[in-house]
Amino acid sequence: MRYELWHSASDGCHTFFPADQNPGDLPDDARLVWSVEADTWEAAQAAKHDHLGWEPYLPMSESTPTRTDP
């Protein structure tokens, strides 16, 4: 499956999603900056993190508790 990374300069935001899904409303200035073929979301995320020079992608395990505000 192909995944796409879009960037908007106006809000400084990246949006990453499978190419066959509608990402919702992207800002008018959003531009496709990168794409990758990957078998899984985790593999796509790992490639994206590498491409952007970020720390390695660490998927959340199902046993990882999520924070809830009181």
Which pLDDT tens digit goes with each residue over 9-45?
999 999 999 999 988 889 999 999 999 999 999 999 9
Residue 8 has pLDDT above 80, yes or no: yes
* Domain boundaries of the chain, sorted by first residue: 2-52
Options 2.60.40, 3.90.820, 3.40.50, 3.30.160; CATH for 2-52 is: 3.90.820
Separation between Cα atoms, residue 50 and residue 5, nearest integer Å: 13
pTM across the whole model:
0.79
Residue 68 has pLDDT above 70, yes or no: no
Separation between Cα atoms, residue 28 and residue 54, nearest integer Å: 26
Separation between Cα atoms, residue 16 and residue 35, nearest integer Å: 9
